[in-house]
């Protein structure tokens, strides 16, 4: 089971679907790593490049924290 981090993430171009994503909620996986889920494919994506696994290399996406007012 994952839990939300309270951080919102955005990207100009998703490595999985190629679309822009805004306001995606960060979640923590069983390993304690933060990720978001692509809204089109439903696949999890790590937000920190240092947490990427081998499978993530093909779908590299630069995620940025959104400013919350």
Q: pLDDT tens digits for 9-64?
A: 999 999 889 999 999 999 998 889 999 999 999 988 888 877 767 666 667 788 99
Q: Which residues of 3-29 are buried (b: 16+ CB within 10 A; e: fewer)?
A: eeeebbbbbeebbbeeeebeebebbee
- Prediction pTM value: 0.81
Note whether residue 29 is domain-resident: yes
Note whether residue 34 is domain-resident: yes
Structure tokens given for 10: 């955005």
**Which of these, 32, 42, 46, 41, lies nearest to 3 by C-alpha position?**
32
Note whether residue 63 is domain-resident: no
Domain that holds residue 12: 3-58
Note whether residue 14 is domain-resident: yes
Note whether residue 66 is domain-resident: no
Structurally, the chain folds into a number of domains equal to: 1
- Ranges assigned E (strand) in the chain: 3-11, 21-28, 34-37, 44-46, 64-65
The single-letter DSSP state of residue 17 is: T
């Amino acid at each position: 089971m994952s839990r939300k981090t309270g951080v919102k993430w955005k990207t100009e171009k998703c490595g999985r679907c190629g679309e822009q994503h805004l306001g995606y909620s960060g979640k923590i996986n069983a390993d304690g790593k933060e990720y978001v889920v692509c809204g089109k494919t439903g696949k999890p994506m790590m937000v920190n490049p240092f947490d990427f696994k081998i499978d993530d290399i093909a779908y590299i996406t630069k995620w940025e924290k959104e400013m919350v007012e």
